[in-house]
């Protein structure tokens, strides 16, 4: 399997190359050149489904014989489905080390990159700018991986206390930099670093954000396994969405032939996608801060993959629908989950539950699955006042809270970043 750019430029590359480069040379995103035909959609454990469905995407690559070991290394925690009632279930993706679904993608990417042979004199340097969840998942996944260094940049004072812990509790091969400036400055610094001559000479530079195809492939697997577990008919999903990594992965799983019906995206007040579907006009915009902060995205990066797949807006509309919910509605969703089902949901999960409740659930005959993207303990300051009780912290998160902190502050200047890394 080869990978090509959504913008049509450059040569087709192997899986390993697509992973290491992250972005295509023409700044497009890598997509598979051809689509495998699924031989077997039978139900089974997540890791078996994952191996069957990912194998064709690695065909011909040096990593292909190691796929089993890669999945063993990456998928060390479950993705259980809990039932609310006859029609509604919740797919829990928050049982990994940093209690958000990003652990699946980050750990798979780390397990792959560790196994690509490289020149010891020029280590791989992963640069990540984060506004919260991504940096923690990437740091956790790459911590103690030989031959790989990670630098995480976050906006000082602008992430939650638990998120800050998850970014700063690593040390070793992970350096964390608190940038005196907003997230946009962190992102700008990372971009500039990629063209810095000193850094490029010393390191092989790569990024680990959700445009990397190595984060998308593992995210297909739990949609597929959940759908395959159904005896007949199809499963519909409501997905809390920001950069549309999940949306893309779910569309890919359906394209492979797994019995997935409707895919509905839940957005917060950042309405770029709902508006695009309504009007057909592509209008990215600055992000708006909401309670579901991991979805505060005004210019969703993976939209490029979806629009590449469905260039005609009519086909895009057939493939996906999307709704927006405001903060009051998110609070309502948290209350509803607790009162109705005794479940505690994070704000992102609650946004999806509200979309189910308001827009698709009423006439549902087929089963619906709301995707739960983070553990509520990560957002206890929002959740606890609504349900009127403390949210128990999972052991994995508690373990991170007990580690020592190491972080350096830098000015938002490239020279400060280069000095900190080199
Ligand atoms: C990243 C994230 C999202 C958004 O996922 P995308 O794949 O970028 O659309 C939703 N919820 C949580 C908790 C996240 O961390």
Mean of all residue pLDDT scores within the chain = 94
Phi, psi of 279, deg, nearest 5: -105, -20
Mutate to test the pocket of ligand 1, among 246, 301, 320 (most ligand atoms within 8 A of CB): 246
Rounded to the nearest whole angstrom, what is the distance from the C-alpha of residue 301 to the centroid of ligand 1?
12
Nearest Cα residue to 294 out of 266, 332, 259, 258: 266
pLDDT band for 173, please (50, 70, 90 cuts): very high
Is the predicted pLDDT of residue 373 greater than 90, yes or no? Answer: yes
Give residue for tokens 């195809």: 213
Rounded-to-10 torsion of CA 129, 135, 138, 139: 110
Rounded to the nearest whole angstrom, what is the distance from the C-alpha of residue 128 to the centroid of ligand 1?
16
Rounded to the nearest whole angstrom, what is the distance from the C-alpha of residue 65 to the centroid of ligand 1?
31
For strand 81-83 and strand 88-92, is the pairing parallel, antiparallel, or unpaired?
Answer: antiparallel
pLDDT band for 148, please (50, 70, 90 cuts): very high
Length of the chain: 422
Q: Which helix (H) or strand (E) holds 32?
A: strand 30-32
d(CA 89, CA 238): 10
Rounded to the nearest whole angstrom, what is the distance from the C-alpha of residue 60 to the centroid of ligand 1?
31
Rounded to the nearest whole angstrom, what is the distance from the C-alpha of residue 360 to the centroid of ligand 1?
21
Nearest residue by C-alpha to atom 2 in ligand 1? 294
Is the predicted pLDDT of residue 38 greater than 90, yes or no? Answer: no
d(CA 188, CA 277): 30
Percent of the chain with pLDDT over 70: 100
Neighbours of 54 (CB within 10 A): 21
What atom in ligand 1 is closest to the CA of residue 374?
Answer: 13
Tokens of 46: 């997540």
Rounded to the nearest whole angstrom, what is the distance from the C-alpha of residue 272 to the centroid of ligand 1?
15
d(CA 350, CA 246): 16
215 lines ligand 1 (CB under 6 A): no
The HSE-up count of residue 172 (CA atoms within 13 Å, CB side) is 15
Distances (CA, A) of 321 to 195, 274, 294, 410: 38, 8, 20, 42
Give residue for tokens 């091969």: 173
Percent of the chain with pLDDT over 90: 81
Kindly report which listed range (37-41, 155-159, 339-343, 365-369) carries the lowest average pLDDT score. 37-41
Rounded to the nearest whole angstrom, what is the distance from the C-alpha of residue 264 to the centroid of ligand 1?
14
Is the predicted pLDDT of residue 60 greater than 90, yes or no? Answer: yes
| Per-residue model confidence (pLDDT) at position 119 | 86
pLDDT tens digits along 22-31: 889 898 999 9
Question: In this structure, is the dihedral angle defined by the CA atoms of residues 375, 380, 386 and 391, taken in order, positive or negative?
Answer: positive
Nearest Cα residue to 98 out of 315, 386, 397: 397
348 lines ligand 1 (CB under 6 A): yes
Tokens of 413: 């200047």
Is the predicted pLDDT of residue 11 greater than 90, yes or no? Answer: yes
> Directed axis angle between helix 67-74 and helix 102-114, to 10°?
140
Nearest Cα residue to 301 out of 249, 244, 239: 244
267 lines ligand 1 (CB under 6 A): no
Q: Based on the number of CB atoms within 10 Å of its own CB, is 420 exposed (0-12), middle (13-18) or buried (19 or more)?
A: middle
Kindly report which listed range (226-240, 260-274, 327-341) carries the lowest average pLDDT score. 226-240
Question: In this structure, is the dihedral angle defined by the CA atoms of residues 136, 138, 140 and 145, taken in order, positive or negative?
Answer: negative
Tokens of 369: 């699955």
Kindly report which listed range (164-173, 180-189, 254-263) carries the lowest average pLDDT score. 180-189
What atom in ligand 1 is closest to the CA of residue 246?
Answer: 7
pLDDT band for 114, please (50, 70, 90 cuts): very high
């Amino acid at each position: 399997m080869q990978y090509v750019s959504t913008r049509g430029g450059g040569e087709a590359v192997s899986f390993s190359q697509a992973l290491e480069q992250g972005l295509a040379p023409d700044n497009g995103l890598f997509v598979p050149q051809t689509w495998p035909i699924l031989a077997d959609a039978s139900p089974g454990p997540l890791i078996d489904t994952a191996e069957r469905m990912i194998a064709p995407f690695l065909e011909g690559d040096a990593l292909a014989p190691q796929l089993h070991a890669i999945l063993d290394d990456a998928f060390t925690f479950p993705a259980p489905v809990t039932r609310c009632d006859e029609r509604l279930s919740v797919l829990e993706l928050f049982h990994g080390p940093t209690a958000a679904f990003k652990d699946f993608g980050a750990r798979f990417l780390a397990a792959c990159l560790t196994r690509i042979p490289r020149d010891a004199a020029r280590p791989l340097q992963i640069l990540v700018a984060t506004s919260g969840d991504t940096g923690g998942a990437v740091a956790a996944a790459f911590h103690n991986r030989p031959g790989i260094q990670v630098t995480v940049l976050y906006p000082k004072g602008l992430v939650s206390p638990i998120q800050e812990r998850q970014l700063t509790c690593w040390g070793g091969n992970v350096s964390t930099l608190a940038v005196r400036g907003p997230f946009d400055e962190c992102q700008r610094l990372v971009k500039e670093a990629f063209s810095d001559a000193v850094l490029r000479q010393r390191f092989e530079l790569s990024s680990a954000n959700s445009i990397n195809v190595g984060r998308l492939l593992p995210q297909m697997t739990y949609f597929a396994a959940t759908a395959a577990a159904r005896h007949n008919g199809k499963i519909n999903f409501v997905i809390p969405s920001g950069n549309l990594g999940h949306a893309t992965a779910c569309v890919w799983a359906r394209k492979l032939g797994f019995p997935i019906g409707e895919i509905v995206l839940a957005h917060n007040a950042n309405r770029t996608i709902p508006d695009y579907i309504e009007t057909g006009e592509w209008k990215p915009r600055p992000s708006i801060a909401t309670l579901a902060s991991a979805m505060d995205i005004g210019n969703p990066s993976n939209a490029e993959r979806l629009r590449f797949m469905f260039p005609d807006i009519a086909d895009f509309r057939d493939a996906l629908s999307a709704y927006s919910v405001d903060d009051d509605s998110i609070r309502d969703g948290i209350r509803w989950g607790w009162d109705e089902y005794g479940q505690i949901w994070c704000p992102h999960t609650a946004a999806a539950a509200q979309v189910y409740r308001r827009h698709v659930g009423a006439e549902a005959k087929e089963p619906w699955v709301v995707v739960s993207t983070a553990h509520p303990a990560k957002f206890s300051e929002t959740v606890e006042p609504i349900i009127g009780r403390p949210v128990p912290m999972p052991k994995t998160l508690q373990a991170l809270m007990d580690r020592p902190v190491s972080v350096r502050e830098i000015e938002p200047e490239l020279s400060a970043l280069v000095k900190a890394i080199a």
